[in-house]
Amino acid sequence: MEVTTPESLSEDKAVEPGLRPRQLSEFVGQEKVREALAIAIDAAKRRREPLDHVLFHGPQGLGKTTLAALMARELGVNLETTSGPVLEKPADLVSMLTNQRAGDVLFIDEIHRLRPIIEEFLYPAMEDWQIEIRLSEGPRAQTMTMRIEPFTLVGATTRFGLLTAPMRARFGIAQRLNFYPFEELAEIVRRSARILELEVNEDGAFEIARRSRGTPRVANRLLRRVRDFAQVRAAGKVNKAVAMDALAMLDVDEYGLDEMDARVLKTIIEKFDGGPVGLSSLAVALGDDQLTLEEVYEPFLIQEGFLQRTAQGRKATKRAYQRFGYALPAEGKEPAGQSSFFEE
Protein backbone atom coordinates (compact mmCIF):
# COMPACT_ATOMS: atom_id res chain seq x y z
CA MET A 1 0.00 0.00 0.00
CA GLU A 2 1.08 3.62 -0.65
CA VAL A 3 2.01 5.89 2.26
CA THR A 4 -1.10 7.97 1.48
CA THR A 5 -3.65 5.16 1.66
CA PRO A 6 -6.36 5.92 4.24
CA GLU A 7 -6.48 2.25 5.22
CA SER A 8 -5.04 1.37 8.62
CA LEU A 9 -1.60 -0.24 8.24
CA SER A 10 0.28 -2.32 10.81
CA GLU A 11 2.51 0.61 11.76
CA ASP A 12 -0.58 2.78 12.34
CA LYS A 13 -2.02 0.26 14.78
CA ALA A 14 1.19 0.40 16.80
CA VAL A 15 1.55 4.19 16.83
CA GLU A 16 -1.97 5.67 16.47
CA PRO A 17 -3.19 4.92 20.02
CA GLY A 18 -0.53 7.22 21.44
CA LEU A 19 -1.57 10.04 19.09
CA ARG A 20 -5.31 9.78 19.65
CA PRO A 21 -7.12 12.32 21.82
CA ARG A 22 -8.04 11.24 25.34
CA GLN A 23 -11.26 13.24 25.57
CA LEU A 24 -14.01 14.17 23.12
CA SER A 25 -13.17 17.85 23.65
CA GLU A 26 -9.64 17.16 22.31
CA PHE A 27 -10.94 15.65 19.06
CA VAL A 28 -10.05 18.03 16.23
CA GLY A 29 -12.54 18.62 13.43
CA GLN A 30 -16.00 17.21 12.64
CA GLU A 31 -17.43 19.92 14.89
CA LYS A 32 -21.11 19.19 14.27
CA VAL A 33 -20.60 15.47 14.84
CA ARG A 34 -18.64 16.10 18.01
CA GLU A 35 -21.27 18.49 19.36
CA ALA A 36 -24.14 16.10 18.61
CA LEU A 37 -22.32 13.25 20.34
CA ALA A 38 -21.46 15.37 23.38
CA ILE A 39 -25.12 16.31 23.83
CA ALA A 40 -26.34 12.72 23.37
CA ILE A 41 -23.74 11.38 25.82
CA ASP A 42 -24.54 14.01 28.44
CA ALA A 43 -28.28 13.35 28.11
CA ALA A 44 -27.81 9.58 28.42
CA LYS A 45 -25.68 10.03 31.55
CA ARG A 46 -28.27 12.33 33.13
CA ARG A 47 -31.03 9.81 32.45
CA ARG A 48 -28.76 6.94 33.50
CA GLU A 49 -29.65 5.13 30.30
CA PRO A 50 -27.50 3.52 27.61
CA LEU A 51 -26.64 5.82 24.74
CA ASP A 52 -28.71 5.15 21.64
CA HIS A 53 -27.07 3.06 18.92
CA VAL A 54 -24.70 5.15 16.76
CA LEU A 55 -23.68 4.78 13.11
CA PHE A 56 -20.66 6.57 11.62
CA HIS A 57 -20.28 6.63 7.85
CA GLY A 58 -17.85 8.25 5.46
CA PRO A 59 -14.42 7.64 3.89
CA GLN A 60 -11.65 5.73 5.64
CA GLY A 61 -9.27 7.27 8.13
CA LEU A 62 -11.48 10.11 9.39
CA GLY A 63 -11.80 9.05 13.02
CA LYS A 64 -14.69 6.60 13.35
CA THR A 65 -12.75 4.19 15.57
CA THR A 66 -11.34 7.06 17.62
CA LEU A 67 -14.81 8.50 18.20
CA ALA A 68 -16.13 5.12 19.36
CA ALA A 69 -13.31 4.88 21.90
CA LEU A 70 -13.89 8.44 23.10
CA MET A 71 -17.61 7.78 23.51
CA ALA A 72 -16.92 4.79 25.74
CA ARG A 73 -14.43 6.82 27.76
CA GLU A 74 -16.88 9.72 28.20
CA LEU A 75 -19.61 7.30 29.26
CA GLY A 76 -17.26 5.54 31.68
CA VAL A 77 -17.97 2.11 30.18
CA ASN A 78 -16.05 -0.70 28.50
CA LEU A 79 -15.42 -0.89 24.75
CA GLU A 80 -15.49 -4.16 22.80
CA THR A 81 -14.21 -3.94 19.22
CA THR A 82 -14.79 -6.24 16.25
CA SER A 83 -15.50 -6.00 12.51
CA GLY A 84 -18.09 -7.28 10.08
CA PRO A 85 -15.84 -9.63 8.08
CA VAL A 86 -14.64 -11.61 11.13
CA LEU A 87 -18.15 -12.35 12.42
CA GLU A 88 -19.08 -15.55 10.61
CA LYS A 89 -21.84 -16.95 12.85
CA PRO A 90 -24.03 -15.75 15.74
CA ALA A 91 -21.90 -17.69 18.22
CA ASP A 92 -19.07 -15.25 17.49
CA LEU A 93 -21.15 -12.51 19.10
CA VAL A 94 -22.65 -14.42 22.02
CA SER A 95 -19.72 -14.04 24.40
CA MET A 96 -19.33 -10.36 23.53
CA LEU A 97 -22.97 -9.61 24.25
CA THR A 98 -23.37 -11.78 27.34
CA ASN A 99 -20.18 -10.51 28.99
CA GLN A 100 -21.06 -6.84 28.61
CA ARG A 101 -22.08 -4.70 31.54
CA ALA A 102 -24.99 -2.28 31.35
CA GLY A 103 -24.19 0.61 29.03
CA ASP A 104 -21.05 -0.90 27.50
CA VAL A 105 -20.16 -0.08 23.89
CA LEU A 106 -19.80 -2.70 21.14
CA PHE A 107 -18.00 -1.28 18.10
CA ILE A 108 -18.39 -3.07 14.76
CA ASP A 109 -16.18 -1.73 11.98
CA GLU A 110 -17.15 -2.39 8.35
CA ILE A 111 -20.65 -3.12 9.55
CA HIS A 112 -21.90 -3.17 5.94
CA ARG A 113 -20.08 -6.50 5.56
CA LEU A 114 -22.11 -8.33 8.21
CA ARG A 115 -23.65 -11.58 7.01
CA PRO A 116 -27.48 -11.60 6.95
CA ILE A 117 -27.61 -14.23 9.70
CA ILE A 118 -25.54 -11.96 11.96
CA GLU A 119 -27.76 -8.97 11.23
CA GLU A 120 -30.88 -10.93 12.13
CA PHE A 121 -29.23 -12.13 15.32
CA LEU A 122 -28.44 -8.52 16.29
CA TYR A 123 -31.93 -7.08 15.76
CA PRO A 124 -33.52 -8.36 19.02
CA ALA A 125 -30.28 -7.63 20.86
CA MET A 126 -30.41 -3.99 19.74
CA GLU A 127 -34.13 -3.51 20.34
CA ASP A 128 -35.18 -5.79 23.18
CA TRP A 129 -31.88 -6.64 24.92
CA GLN A 130 -32.25 -10.33 24.24
CA ILE A 131 -30.65 -12.95 21.98
CA GLU A 132 -31.75 -16.33 20.66
CA ILE A 133 -29.22 -19.10 21.30
CA ARG A 134 -29.44 -22.35 19.34
CA LEU A 135 -29.23 -25.43 21.55
CA SER A 136 -29.19 -27.88 18.64
CA GLU A 137 -29.04 -28.00 14.85
CA GLY A 138 -31.41 -29.20 12.17
CA PRO A 139 -35.06 -28.56 11.25
CA ARG A 140 -36.22 -29.17 14.83
CA ALA A 141 -33.46 -27.16 16.42
CA GLN A 142 -34.30 -25.78 19.84
CA THR A 143 -33.49 -22.23 20.85
CA MET A 144 -33.28 -20.43 24.14
CA THR A 145 -33.96 -16.75 24.72
CA MET A 146 -31.37 -15.06 26.91
CA ARG A 147 -31.59 -11.59 28.37
CA ILE A 148 -28.55 -9.34 28.00
CA GLU A 149 -27.60 -6.03 29.54
CA PRO A 150 -28.62 -2.90 27.62
CA PHE A 151 -25.69 -1.75 25.48
CA THR A 152 -24.75 0.70 22.76
CA LEU A 153 -23.84 -0.61 19.32
CA VAL A 154 -21.56 1.72 17.37
CA GLY A 155 -21.23 0.82 13.71
CA ALA A 156 -18.77 2.24 11.18
CA THR A 157 -18.98 1.97 7.42
CA THR A 158 -17.46 3.44 4.29
CA ARG A 159 -20.41 2.10 2.24
CA PHE A 160 -23.56 3.55 3.80
CA GLY A 161 -25.66 2.51 0.81
CA LEU A 162 -24.80 -1.17 1.33
CA LEU A 163 -26.39 -1.27 4.78
CA THR A 164 -29.80 -2.90 4.74
CA ALA A 165 -32.79 -0.70 5.55
CA PRO A 166 -33.69 -2.71 8.69
CA MET A 167 -30.17 -2.26 10.05
CA ARG A 168 -30.06 1.46 9.28
CA ALA A 169 -33.42 1.93 10.99
CA ARG A 170 -32.08 0.56 14.28
CA PHE A 171 -29.53 3.33 14.72
CA GLY A 172 -30.94 6.29 16.60
CA ILE A 173 -27.91 8.44 15.76
CA ALA A 174 -26.31 8.47 12.31
CA GLN A 175 -23.44 10.84 11.53
CA ARG A 176 -21.40 11.32 8.38
CA LEU A 177 -17.70 12.16 8.74
CA ASN A 178 -16.25 14.36 5.99
CA PHE A 179 -12.76 15.07 4.72
CA TYR A 180 -10.88 17.61 6.85
CA PRO A 181 -9.85 21.11 5.69
CA PHE A 182 -6.14 21.95 5.69
CA GLU A 183 -6.37 24.13 8.80
CA GLU A 184 -7.75 21.32 10.95
CA LEU A 185 -5.23 18.84 9.58
CA ALA A 186 -2.43 21.28 10.38
CA GLU A 187 -3.72 21.45 13.96
CA ILE A 188 -3.66 17.64 14.12
CA VAL A 189 -0.10 17.61 12.75
CA ARG A 190 1.04 20.12 15.37
CA ARG A 191 -0.61 18.17 18.18
CA SER A 192 0.93 14.88 17.03
CA ALA A 193 4.33 16.56 16.64
CA ARG A 194 4.20 17.70 20.26
CA ILE A 195 3.42 14.16 21.39
CA LEU A 196 6.28 12.83 19.25
CA GLU A 197 8.56 15.59 20.60
CA LEU A 198 9.25 16.81 17.09
CA GLU A 199 9.85 20.49 16.32
CA VAL A 200 7.56 21.54 13.46
CA ASN A 201 6.87 25.16 12.55
CA GLU A 202 3.57 26.49 11.17
CA ASP A 203 4.62 26.31 7.52
CA GLY A 204 5.97 22.79 7.93
CA ALA A 205 2.75 21.59 9.56
CA PHE A 206 0.63 23.17 6.83
CA GLU A 207 2.75 21.62 4.07
CA ILE A 208 2.19 18.17 5.54
CA ALA A 209 -1.50 18.90 6.08
CA ARG A 210 -2.23 19.99 2.53
CA ARG A 211 -0.79 16.75 1.15
CA SER A 212 -2.72 14.52 3.58
CA ARG A 213 -5.78 13.89 1.41
CA GLY A 214 -8.11 15.42 3.98
CA THR A 215 -7.44 12.48 6.29
CA PRO A 216 -5.94 12.55 9.83
CA ARG A 217 -4.56 9.03 9.51
CA VAL A 218 -2.60 10.02 6.41
CA ALA A 219 -1.46 13.25 8.10
CA ASN A 220 -0.03 11.35 11.06
CA ARG A 221 1.65 8.81 8.78
CA LEU A 222 3.25 11.50 6.64
CA LEU A 223 4.38 13.29 9.79
CA ARG A 224 6.21 10.16 10.93
CA ARG A 225 7.95 9.83 7.56
CA VAL A 226 8.90 13.51 7.59
CA ARG A 227 10.25 13.02 11.12
CA ASP A 228 12.52 10.24 9.83
CA PHE A 229 13.80 12.52 7.08
CA ALA A 230 14.29 15.48 9.43
CA GLN A 231 16.23 13.46 11.99
CA VAL A 232 18.66 12.26 9.31
CA ARG A 233 18.87 15.33 7.04
CA ALA A 234 17.68 18.39 9.02
CA ALA A 235 18.81 18.12 12.65
CA GLY A 236 15.37 16.92 13.70
CA LYS A 237 13.56 20.15 12.78
CA VAL A 238 10.74 20.45 10.25
CA ASN A 239 10.00 23.59 8.25
CA LYS A 240 8.31 23.99 4.88
CA ALA A 241 11.44 23.17 2.87
CA VAL A 242 12.19 20.04 4.90
CA ALA A 243 8.58 18.86 4.59
CA MET A 244 8.60 19.47 0.83
CA ASP A 245 11.86 17.56 0.35
CA ALA A 246 10.68 14.64 2.48
CA LEU A 247 7.32 14.37 0.75
CA ALA A 248 8.89 14.68 -2.70
CA MET A 249 11.07 11.71 -1.81
CA LEU A 250 7.85 9.81 -0.99
CA ASP A 251 6.32 10.79 -4.37
CA VAL A 252 3.51 12.73 -2.68
CA ASP A 253 2.82 15.87 -4.70
CA GLU A 254 1.41 19.22 -3.62
CA TYR A 255 -2.16 17.95 -4.10
CA GLY A 256 -1.60 14.83 -2.02
CA LEU A 257 -1.53 12.62 -5.12
CA ASP A 258 0.81 9.64 -4.99
CA GLU A 259 2.16 7.23 -7.58
CA MET A 260 -1.00 5.10 -7.65
CA ASP A 261 -3.25 8.12 -8.09
CA ALA A 262 -1.12 9.17 -11.05
CA ARG A 263 -1.36 5.68 -12.54
CA VAL A 264 -5.16 5.71 -12.24
CA LEU A 265 -5.57 9.07 -13.93
CA LYS A 266 -2.90 8.50 -16.60
CA THR A 267 -4.38 5.10 -17.47
CA ILE A 268 -7.82 6.62 -18.00
CA ILE A 269 -6.35 9.38 -20.18
CA GLU A 270 -3.85 7.30 -22.18
CA LYS A 271 -5.59 3.94 -22.56
CA PHE A 272 -9.25 4.95 -22.49
CA ASP A 273 -9.10 8.37 -24.14
CA GLY A 274 -10.11 10.07 -20.89
CA GLY A 275 -13.09 7.82 -20.29
CA PRO A 276 -15.71 6.89 -19.50
CA VAL A 277 -14.37 3.49 -18.55
CA GLY A 278 -15.98 0.82 -16.40
CA LEU A 279 -14.49 0.03 -13.01
CA SER A 280 -13.77 -3.59 -13.93
CA SER A 281 -11.90 -2.62 -17.12
CA LEU A 282 -9.92 0.01 -15.23
CA ALA A 283 -8.99 -2.49 -12.52
CA VAL A 284 -7.73 -4.98 -15.13
CA ALA A 285 -5.66 -2.29 -16.86
CA LEU A 286 -4.09 -1.31 -13.53
CA GLY A 287 -3.62 -4.85 -12.26
CA ASP A 288 -5.52 -3.99 -9.08
CA ASP A 289 -8.85 -5.04 -7.59
CA GLN A 290 -12.08 -3.10 -7.97
CA LEU A 291 -12.77 -2.76 -4.25
CA THR A 292 -9.40 -1.11 -3.58
CA LEU A 293 -9.91 1.36 -6.41
CA GLU A 294 -13.43 2.20 -5.34
CA GLU A 295 -12.86 2.50 -1.59
CA VAL A 296 -9.24 3.64 -1.27
CA TYR A 297 -8.43 5.84 -4.27
CA GLU A 298 -11.65 7.08 -5.86
CA PRO A 299 -13.14 9.10 -2.96
CA PHE A 300 -10.23 11.52 -2.76
CA LEU A 301 -9.78 11.83 -6.54
CA ILE A 302 -13.48 12.63 -6.89
CA GLN A 303 -13.49 14.99 -3.91
CA GLU A 304 -10.56 16.96 -5.36
CA GLY A 305 -12.02 17.14 -8.85
CA PHE A 306 -9.55 14.87 -10.69
CA LEU A 307 -12.05 12.10 -11.43
CA GLN A 308 -15.73 11.94 -12.25
CA ARG A 309 -17.95 8.93 -11.72
CA THR A 310 -20.84 8.72 -14.17
CA ALA A 311 -23.42 6.12 -15.12
CA GLN A 312 -21.20 5.20 -18.08
CA GLY A 313 -18.01 4.85 -16.03
CA ARG A 314 -15.03 6.84 -14.74
CA LYS A 315 -13.80 9.95 -16.55
CA ALA A 316 -10.69 12.07 -16.09
CA THR A 317 -11.51 15.74 -15.52
CA LYS A 318 -9.96 18.84 -17.05
CA ARG A 319 -7.98 19.27 -13.84
CA ALA A 320 -6.43 15.80 -14.28
CA TYR A 321 -5.32 16.65 -17.84
CA GLN A 322 -3.78 19.89 -16.63
CA ARG A 323 -2.06 18.32 -13.64
CA PHE A 324 -0.11 15.84 -15.79
CA GLY A 325 0.47 18.13 -18.74
CA TYR A 326 -1.79 16.41 -21.26
CA ALA A 327 -3.37 18.31 -24.10
CA LEU A 328 -7.09 18.63 -23.64
CA PRO A 329 -9.23 16.38 -25.87
CA ALA A 330 -10.27 17.60 -29.27
CA GLU A 331 -13.46 19.60 -29.48
CA GLY A 332 -16.48 17.33 -29.27
CA LYS A 333 -14.96 15.16 -26.56
CA GLU A 334 -14.67 17.44 -23.59
CA PRO A 335 -13.05 16.14 -20.40
CA ALA A 336 -15.31 15.80 -17.41
CA GLY A 337 -15.93 18.82 -15.23
CA GLN A 338 -15.85 18.91 -11.43
CA SER A 339 -18.08 16.25 -9.96
CA SER A 340 -20.00 15.49 -6.84
CA PHE A 341 -18.67 12.90 -4.42
CA PHE A 342 -22.14 11.38 -4.36
CA GLU A 343 -22.63 11.11 -8.11
CA GLU A 344 -23.25 7.58 -9.24
Average pLDDT over residues 153-182: 96
Structure letter (DSSP) for residue 277: B
Average pLDDT over residues 72-81: 97
From 34, 217, 314, 319, active-site residue: 217
DSSP assignment of 125-139? HHHHSEEEEESS-ST
Please name the amino acid found at residue 274: G
User: Domain boundaries in the chain?
Assistant: 30-176, 182-249, 259-323
Contact assessment for residue 175 and residue 36, using Cβ atoms and an 8 Å cutoff: yes
* CA–CA gap between residue 75 and residue 260 (Å, rounded): 41
Task: Look at residue 65 and tell me whether its pLDDT is greater than 50.
Answer: yes
Do 182-249 and 259-323 share a fold? Answer: no
C-alpha closest to that of 158 among 8, 39, 262, 260: 8
From 4, 5, 65, 267, active-site residue: 65
Task: Look at residue 8 and tell me whether its pLDDT is greater than 70.
Answer: no
Q: Is 65 a residue of the active site?
A: yes
Q: What is the dihedral of CA 271, 319, 289, 110, to 10 degrees?
A: -170
Structure letter (DSSP) for residue 85: G
Chain centroid, CA 115 distance in Å: 21
* CA–CA gap between residue 37 and residue 100 (Å, rounded): 22
What was the pLDDT predicted at 330?
72
From 4, 5, 34, 64, active-site residue: 64
Per-residue HEC secondary structure of 177-229 comes to CCCCCHHHHHHHHHHHHHHCCCEECHHHHHHHHHCCCCCHHHHHHHHHHHHHH
Does residue 34 or residue 295 have the better pLDDT? 34
Does residue 307 or residue 329 have the better pLDDT? 307
Enter the CATH code of domain 30-176: 3.40.50.300
Residues 6 or more apart from 31 whose CB is under 8 A from it? none
Reported confidence tier of residue 142, pLDDT bands at 50, 70, 90:
confident
Share of the chain above pLDDT 70, in %: 90
Q: Is 318 a residue of the active site?
A: no
Q: Is 66 a residue of the active site?
A: no
What was the pLDDT predicted at 143?
82
Q: Is 217 a residue of the active site?
A: yes
What was the pLDDT predicted at 152?
98
Q: Among the CATH numbers 1.10.357.10, 1.10.10.10, 3.40.50.720, 3.30.110.40, which is that of 259-323?
A: 1.10.10.10
Contact assessment for residue 84 and residue 110, using Cβ atoms and an 8 Å cutoff: yes
For residue 176, list its beta bridge partners.
Answer: 57
* CA–CA gap between residue 57 and residue 40 (Å, rounded): 18
Q: So what's the architecture of 182-249 in CATH?
A: Orthogonal Bundle (1.10)
Lowest mean pLDDT among 23-37, 121-135, 232-246, 320-334: 320-334
pLDDT in tens, 270-315: 999 999 999 999 999 999 999 999 988 999 999 999 999 999 999 9
Task: Look at residue 337 and tell me whether its pLDDT is greater than 90.
Answer: no
Helix (H, G, I), strand (E, B) or coil at 29: coil
* CA–CA gap between residue 109 and residue 230 (Å, rounded): 35
From 4, 152, 157, 158, active-site residue: 158
* CA–CA gap between residue 261 and residue 280 (Å, rounded): 17
Q: Is 4 a residue of the active site?
A: no
pTM of the model: 0.85
From 104, 109, 258, 261, active-site residue: 109
